[in-house]
Chain A
Amino acid sequence: CAVSGEKNLAEIVKKNKVVVFMKGTPAQPMCGFSNAVVQILRMHGVDNYASYNVLEDQELRQGVKAFSNWPTIPQVFFNGEFVGGCDILLQMHQNGDLVEELQKLGIRS
């Protein structure tokens, strides 16, 4: 199914509190950076987030980059807002911002 239109993406990122576009799946990440995001979320007890595998859908892969104006994968969204990629999530994890942001979503880490 084509989910790559900008309008569709705007809906997709709002459907779940936490949405991740990655290479592979949380059970089987296909790239170290995507794996890092999965591990960080796991550490904070975030398990039921929506993840989309961009390797299975080239249109989605390009579409999400255009939608967020961000050149790389993985991409993380909280409450429909673009948060960042792997480096940003890692730094938020290290400086404590991630705990705060997750609390705003009603998720306790």
Chain B
Amino acid sequence: MAATADQIRDKLVAEIGAVHVEVEDTSSNRCAASFKVLVVSPQFEGKPLLQRHRMVNNCLAAELKDIHAFEQKTLTPEQWEKHKAQ
């Protein structure tokens, strides 16, 4: 079963304590299920980019099997504030 944006959001909130999630379904631009996510979580604090992305990948491992393309941006709440201010 293909993943939905809501499923992805719920999982990220439950499993990696995301305080803000934006999920964009980009499937229409491509040939199969595709998503672009922005994840803000205090659990990213002090972790390098690769490790943050691995956390997201692990969290969504089951969904990723059926997802064709997956883009992600991982921010700490502090980085998110800065990002919004821009």
Chain A interface residues (CB < 8 Å from chain B): 33, 69-72, 82-88, 91-92
Contact = CB atoms under 8 A, between A and B. Distances in A.
A84 B64 contact: no
19 contacts: A33-B69, A69-B54, A70-B57, A71-B57, A71-B61, A71-B64, A71-B65, A71-B70, A72-B69, A72-B70, A82-B50, A83-B50, A84-B49, A84-B53, A86-B71, A87-B53, A87-B73, A88-B49, A91-B73
B72 interface: yes
| Secondary structure of the A contact surface, majority rule | mixed
B15 to A, nearest CB: 16
A87 to B, nearest CB: 6
B50 A87 contact: no
Nearest 7 A/B pairs, CB to CB? A71-B64, A84-B50, A88-B49, A87-B72, A71-B57, A87-B71, A72-B70
Contacts of B61: 71
Contacts of A85: 53
B49 A91 contact: yes
A82 B49 CA distance: 12
A72 B53 CA distance: 12
B21 to A, nearest CB: 16
Interface-centre pick from A69, A71, A85, A91 (highest chain B CB count, 10 A): A71
Interface string B53-86: 1100100010011000111110000000000000
Contacts of A86: 71
Contacts of B65: 71
A84 B50 CA distance: 6
A62 to B, nearest CB: 12
Nearest to A85: B53
B64 A92 contact: no
A63 B53 CA distance: 20
A82 B73 CA distance: 18
